[in-house]
A and B are shown apart, each in its own frame.
Chain A
Amino acid sequence: MPDGSSARAPVLEVRGLRAGYGTAPDTIRDVSLSIEPGQIVGLVGESGCGKSTLAKVVLGLLRPREGDVLVDGRRWGDRSSRDPLRSCVQMVFQDPYASLNPKLTAAETVADSFRRWKGSSRRDALDEARRLLDRVGLPRTAIDARAERLSGGQCQRVGVARALACEPRLLVADEPTSSLDVSVQAQILNLLLELQEGMGMSMLLISHDLSVIRYMTSEAMVMSGGAVVEHGSTAAMLRQPRHPYTRTLVESIPGQVADWA
């Protein structure tokens, strides 16, 4: 970082990233983006466009082939569980049921994060977990219930709490509401907004729902075929999509023709 002060430095900076897997080494090409502290950046694109690959690289689960990924000004080291960057980037998953271990209770799931990062004792971690789960709006009765008994929205709150317990600087939210009912989706989106405003949390929000992107972000990028095809202010992009793919996307929002509101 040029000025050396990590407070003003972007939380995430990706420059000229190329990454992929054995058989498809170029799943993403030449991707650059940066996320400022407290900013939510939207990432749109259809399945297979490289969104998840980008998320994996940002999370340190996949090594880039080319380019730089700087989290809080630092590069991923050995990407093991001991990497100090491990707590800086956390993730909220798409499928709320699959993202929780069915054999653990909500509190136990979150307590694991506390024990890992604060070295709390088992009992303290559970207490802290219960307080945090209460704060993210999980009903008291659900806090000590096994994950298999929770509803989709409740699971997603637990997922958010598990990430928060690590006190991350950046939250990668991969389609966090696409498998939830609209009423629940609104609750989860509002919860994420509260985190951003209240805690200054930065977020990379992956979604294929442009109305979610419009509601949540002021800056967004569109990926197609592994490359960023459009990047800029969300409002402008939705008003005047420049790339043909973005245009198709905008036209595809169901209920766009609505004038009821």
Chain B
Amino acid sequence: MAVVEVNPTSTARAIGSRRRRASRTFAIGAGLLLVITLACFLWPPLSGVSTTDFVGTPLQAPSVQHPFGTDNFGRDVFVRTMAGGRLDLVVAALGVTVPLIFGTFLGVVSGLAAGTVLDRVIMRIVDAILAFPFAILILALSVVIGPDWNLWVLPAGAPAILVALFVTSWSVYARIARGETLSIRQRDFVVAAQVTGLSRWTVVRRHLLPNVLPATFTYALSDVVLVIGVIASLPFLGAGVQPPTPEWGSIIYDGRSLLGQAPWVSLCPGLVVVATGIAVRLMGQGSRILSGGEDA
């Protein structure tokens, strides 16, 4: 186990260029996501057009004035898409970050306590949650919690989605973090840290977490895509964010009956969803190689 595979130095350069490519992939994804995010948050206030304003004749095809055209009420689809994106992005960010932190924490605890009752309890809960098909579980939960509940600034429907995500998706992070913790805690550098007398907390903070986080973070990036997809598909099940608040899923849903005469009403926001997905996906791909180090 000791001797390093084949000549690390001569392949180091090849790995170096691989890493450079990976960070470029990550940067492209991050750039695209930044553009979409900025557009979502800045365009609606800057344009001075509200999501409910009637800006012209209904069902206008895309033009310079209305890049995504208008819908059957004569509202600007681009403004609605951007405004709706704010909600999708915020819900996705919250719905991924909170489970990421919570799940990683529980996973590390479980990994450190491996073999104890605590570990077994945590892992049985994870198993139970993971036994359900993931997306369907979230859909079902948010339907059950109810679409009418609104909380704080979140419009009706959004809290239900968030709660459903919080309840379920930490489990994957916990499992990943536990596995990583188990493998890292017996690596020599962790033993070395114990031998040099570092406290348990220092070992976790300095040696364990920095090596566990990349794995869960990378998964989180792929999770974002899943979450956006889930939010956008909820309106089709009669749940999700309720009208009149625009949201990617509901805009697409509303446009479904117009597909024949005015396909842009559904297609253009759909393309934005796809672009967001690709952006996050690229970040995930880059991050996977960067965090995997030499052997990814």
Write the residues of chain A forming the contact surface with B, with a CB cutoff of 8 angstroms.
Answer: 59, 61, 81-83, 86-87, 89-91, 93-95, 97-104, 112-113, 116-117, 148, 151-152, 159, 162-163, 165-166, 175, 178-179
A179 touches B3 (CB 8 A): yes
Given contacts A179-B2, A179-B3, contact A166 B9 (CB under 8 A): no
B194 to chain A: which residues have CB within 8 Å?
61, 81
Given contacts A93-B192, A175-B2, contact A117 B206 (CB under 8 A): no
B211 touches A102 (CB 8 A): yes
Q: For the complex, what is the distance from the CA of A179 to the CA of B9, rounded to whole Å?
A: 15
Given contacts A87-B197, A112-B206, A148-B293, contact A178 B191 (CB under 8 A): no
Q: Which residue of A lies closest to B4 (CB)?
A: A97
User: Restricting to B201-233, which residues have a CB under 8 Å from any CB of A?
Assistant: 202, 206-207, 210-211
A116 touches B188 (CB 8 A): no
- With beta carbons under 8 angstroms apart, the residue of B189, B199, B206, B293 that contacts A100 is B189
- With beta carbons under 8 angstroms apart, the residue of B187, B199, B293 that contacts A98 is B187
Q: For the complex, what is the distance from the CA of A103 to the CA of B208, rounded to whole Å?
A: 10
A99 touches B294 (CB 8 A): no
A152 to chain B: which residues have CB within 8 Å?
4
**Chain A: minimal CB distance from B294 (Å):** 7
Q: Is B196 an interface residue (CB 8 A)?
A: yes
B196 touches A166 (CB 8 A): yes
Q: For the complex, what is the distance from the CA of A159 to the CA of B195, rounded to whole Å?
A: 12
Q: Which residue of A lies closest to B196 (CB)?
A: A113
Q: Is B124 an interface residue (CB 8 A)?
A: no
A101 touches B196 (CB 8 A): no
Q: Sort A-B residue pairs by CB-CB distance and give the 8 closest, nearest first.
A: A179-B2, A86-B197, A99-B188, A103-B210, A98-B188, A101-B189, A93-B188, A179-B3
B200 to chain A: which residues have CB within 8 Å?
81
Q: Is B193 an interface residue (CB 8 A)?
A: yes
A166 touches B197 (CB 8 A): yes
B206 to chain A: which residues have CB within 8 Å?
101, 104, 112
A112 touches B188 (CB 8 A): no
B294 touches A98 (CB 8 A): no
A81 touches B187 (CB 8 A): no
Q: Is B151 an interface residue (CB 8 A)?
A: no
Write the residues of chain B forming the contact surface with A, with a CB cutoff of 8 angstroms.
Answer: 1-4, 9, 187-189, 191-200, 202, 206-207, 210-211, 293-294
Q: For the complex, what is the distance from the CA of A99 to the CA of B2, rounded to whole Å?
A: 11
**Chain A: minimal CB distance from B209 (Å):** 10
**Chain B: minimal CB distance from A48 (Å):** 14
Can you list 6 A-B pairs with a CB-CB distance of less than 8 A? A86-B197, A90-B195, A93-B192, A103-B211, A116-B197, A178-B2
Q: For the complex, what is the distance from the CA of A91 to the CA of B194, rounded to whole Å?
A: 11
B2 touches A91 (CB 8 A): no
B193 to chain A: which residues have CB within 8 Å?
101, 112
Q: For the complex, what is the distance from the CA of A95 to the CA of B9, rounded to whole Å?
A: 17
Q: For the complex, what is the distance from the CA of A166 to the CA of B206, rounded to whole Å?
A: 18
Q: For the complex, what is the distance from the CA of A103 to the CA of B213, rounded to whole Å?
A: 11
Q: Which residue of B lies closest to A86 (CB)?
A: B197
- With beta carbons under 8 angstroms apart, the residue of A89, A99, A103 that contacts B192 is A99
**Chain B: minimal CB distance from A122 (Å):** 12
B197 touches A101 (CB 8 A): no
Q: For the complex, what is the distance from the CA of A116 to the CA of B196, rounded to whole Å?
A: 8
B210 touches A101 (CB 8 A): yes
A148 touches B294 (CB 8 A): yes
Q: For the complex, what is the distance from the CA of A11 to the CA of B200, rounded to whole Å?
A: 27
B196 touches A95 (CB 8 A): no
Q: Which residue of A lies closest to B214 (CB)?
A: A103
A117 touches B197 (CB 8 A): yes
Q: Please indicate which of the listed interface residues A59, A61, A82, A97 has the most CB atoms of chain B within 10 Å of its own CB.
A: A97
Q: For the complex, what is the distance from the CA of A61 to the CA of B196, rounded to whole Å?
A: 12
A98 to chain B: which residues have CB within 8 Å?
187-189
**Chain A: minimal CB distance from B185 (Å):** 12
A61 touches B191 (CB 8 A): yes
B191 to chain A: which residues have CB within 8 Å?
61, 91, 93
- With beta carbons under 8 angstroms apart, the residue of A100, A112, A151 that contacts B196 is A112
Given contacts A98-B187, A99-B188, A152-B4, contact A162 B211 (CB under 8 A): no
- With beta carbons under 8 angstroms apart, the residue of B1, B192, B293 that contacts A102 is B293
Q: Which residue of A lies closest to B187 (CB)?
A: A98
**Chain A: minimal CB distance from B238 (Å):** 47
Q: A116-B196, A163-B196 are in contact. List 12 more A-B contacts (CB 8 A).
A: A81-B198, A86-B197, A91-B195, A100-B189, A101-B189, A101-B207, A102-B211, A112-B193, A112-B198, A112-B202, A112-B206, A116-B198
